[in-house]
Amino acid sequence: MTQTKKIAIIGLGYVGLPLAVAFATKYQVLGFDSNPQRVNALKQGQDDTQEISLRELQVALKPNKKIGLRISINPKELTGAAIYIVTVPTPITPDNKPISAPF
């Protein structure tokens, strides 16, 4: 019997949310973000970054025992994941270009 693997995506911005939704088509995904307003908006099907369509988000947010996306602000829910992916904000210049690392 195969065990369902849970994936934790930490950070649900313009990188993390599309990644979480994509993985949720095949796996159980916990999307974690520390911003309560962001989490509440996503739970209501609203993506302010407009990276994901309302329909894609609604489909992903209907999890079952094997696949789907659950969103949380509670770090305790991160335990038990087989894979952790951390997506962090990319610092950008005023003209929206990534700031390169100084090394």
- Ramachandran assignment for 65, one of left (phi > 0), alpha (psi -120 to 50 degrees), beta (any other): alpha
Q: What is the pLDDT of residue 1?
A: 40
Show the domains of the chain with their CATH numbers: 6-86 (3.40.50.720)
pTM of the shown model:
0.83
Q: Provide CB contacts within 8 A for 86, sequence distance 6+.
A: 10, 11
How confident is the chain (103 residues) per 10-residue block, as mean pLDDT?
A: 77 94 96 96 90 91 88 95 91 80 63
Report the pLDDT value the prediction gives residue 97, as an integer from 0 to 100: 79
Distance CA 59, CA 56 (A): 5
Asked if residue 25 lies in contact with residue 60, where contact means CB atoms within 8 angstroms, the answer is yes
